[in-house]
Amino acid sequence: MTFYRQVGSIPPKRHTQHRRPDGGLYAEELVGEEGFSSDSSLLYHRGIPSAIVDARPWQLPDQTLTPNIPLVPRHLKLHDLEYKEADPVTGRRLVLGNADVRISYAVSTETSPYYRNAVGDECVFVERGSATVETVFGALTVGRGDYVIIPRTTTHRWIPDGPEPLRTYAIEASSHIAPPARYLSRYGQFLEHSPYCERDLRAPSEPLLAEGTDVEIYVKHRGGGTVHVVPEHPFDVVGWDGCLYPYVFNIADFEPITGRVHQPPPVHQVFAGQNFVICNFVPRKVDYHPLAVPVPYYHSNVDSDEVMFYVDGDYEARKGSGIGKGSISLHPGGHSHGPQPGAVEGSLGVDFFDETAVMVDTFRPLDLGEAGLVADDGRYAWSWSGRGPSA
Ligand SMILES: [Fe+2]
C-alpha cells in the first residue's frame, strides 16, 4: 500500500533500541519491496525472525498447466467441482495460470496452516462465507465480496468461521498487486476520479500476539514448496509501521463509473499486477443515451486473455450461454467475443444491470489448470453460432 500506518508499540526513532519490559531488545525487521527502493514496513519482534529449526519439502497442490489448444473460449463451472474438507491454502485447485498469475478456487471449512507466499502478492476474493485472516501484522475480518490483498512473504493463516463454507477465488501474482497508478497522485494518495479511496480500505489495527514453539510455516516459493519450522510463534510482532501491509477492499465499495454510451472495461479496474489487471463489474445504472446499447460491443482484445468470474446477479451479455453464478468465462486473445445472440436486442432500454463479476485480463496467454480442465463445459465455444462441430 502507499499510505502510512502505525500499529502497536514502536520506538520514536527508526533503527534505535526498542526494549521489552524485561529490558531485552525487540528484533527490528524491515520488510521491503524492490530491494530497499519501494514500500516497506518495520516490524518489532519478540523473537528472532530468521530463526528456523527444521525445513522439509512441501508438495504443492497440482500446479500442472495445459495450453488452451485448440484455442477456444471456455466456460468453466467452478460450482460443479467436487470438494473434500479443505482449507483456503492447501485446498486451492488451480483453474488457470501463466508465468505472471495463477487463479485457483477453494471451498473450505478448515483452518489453513501458517502460510507465506514468496512468489508474489495474493489477491483473494471471497465469493461466499466469512473468515478471520490472522497475519503477522494483525488480524483481518473478511466476508462476502472482500478482496484480501496479502503482500509477498506475509505470514498468515485463514480461519473460516461462518455457517457456510468459505469460497475463495485466489489470484496469485508473480509480482505485486496494487491500485492502478492512474488512480493515485504522484505521492500515492487516491485521486478524485478513482472509484475508491483510502476510507474504503481495511487493515490490521492492533498487534496479534500468540504463544507457541516449533510452529510450521508453509512457504510457497519460486522453486516449489517448503515447510519451515520456527522455534517461537511467528505472531510475535508487538508493533509495526510503514506502507506495506495486508488490507481488504469490498467490491460493494467500488463506485461504478457510468456514461451515456458504453464505458470500456478500464473504468472497472480495481487492481493491477505485472502483466495483468483486475477489474470488477458491479450493480450499476447503465448507458443513458436514448439510443444506447448497454451490453458490450464485440471486442478482440488483441493483447490479452480475459477471465470473467460471475459472482452475483444476472449477467446480461452472457444470457443464453449457460453461464451463471460460479461460472468463469475464458475469452482468449485470437478470438473475438461479445454478447450472445439476442443479448444486444434484449438490453435495449434497460437502465440498470444487477451483476457482480471479477475480471482478470492477462497479457500473456493463460493455460488451464487441473480444475480448469475438469470444470470445462465443452460447449461454450459454439454458443454464438448455435452449433458445434459435426460428429
Ligand atoms: Fe470482454
| β-pair type (237-242, 74-77) | unpaired
Q: 306: annotated binding-site residue?
A: yes
Q: Are 31 and 153 in contact (CB under 8 A)?
A: yes
How far is the C-alpha of 320 from the C-alpha of 301, rounded, in Å?
A: 23
Residue 116 contacts residue 106 (beta carbons within 8 Å): no
Is the distance from CB of 208 to CB of 235 less than 8 angstroms?
yes
DSSP annotation of 374 reads: H
Question: Strands 276-281 and 355-362: what pairing?
Answer: antiparallel
**231: three-class secondary structure by DSSP:** strand
Ligand 1 centroid from CA 74, angstroms: 13
- Class of the CATH domain delimited by 254-382: mainly beta
pTM value?
0.97
Give the Å distance between the CA of 379 and the centre of ligand 1: 18
Q: How far is the CA of 121 from the centre of ligand 1 (A)?
A: 25
Catalytic residue among 18, 193, 233, 262: 262
Q: Tens of pLDDT along 218-254?
A: 999 999 999 999 999 999 999 999 999 999 999 999 9
DSSP 373: H
Cα separation, 71 vs 272, whole angstroms: 26
Instruction: Give residue limits of the domains in the chain.
Output: 30-60+84-251, 254-382
**How would you write the pLDDT of the chain (391 residues) with one tens digit per residue?**
679 999 999 999 999 999 999 999 999 999 999 999 999 999 999 999 999 999 999 999 999 999 999 999 999 999 999 888 899 999 999 999 999 999 999 999 999 999 999 999 999 999 999 999 999 999 999 999 999 999 999 999 999 998 999 999 999 999 999 999 999 999 999 999 999 999 999 999 999 999 999 999 999 999 999 999 999 999 999 999 999 999 999 999 999 999 999 999 999 999 999 999 999 999 999 999 999 999 999 999 899 999 999 999 987 777 778 899 999 999 999 999 999 999 999 999 999 999 999 999 999 999 999 999 999 999 999 999 989 887 5
Tell me how far the alpha carbon of residue 324 lies from the centroid of ligand 1, in angstroms: 16
Return the C-alpha cell found at 55: 525445513
CA pair distance 76, 376, nearest whole angstrom? 4
Is residue 315 part of an annotated ligand binding site?
yes
Q: pLDDT averaged over the chain?
A: 96
**Tens of pLDDT along 95-140?**
999 999 999 999 999 999 999 999 999 999 999 999 999 999 999 9
DSSP 8-state class, residue 50: T
34 dihedral zone (left: phi>0; alpha: psi -120 to 50; beta)? left
Position 84 scores a pLDDT of: 81
Asked about 156 being catalytic, the answer comes back as: no
pLDDT at residue 72, rounded to an integer:
97
CATH code: domain 30-60+84-251 is 2.60.120.10
Specify whether the CB–CB gap between 226 and 55 falls below 8 A: yes
| Topology agreement, domain 30-60+84-251 and domain 254-382 | yes
CA distances from 271 to 33, 62, 65 (A): 18, 27, 25
114 known member of a binding site:
no
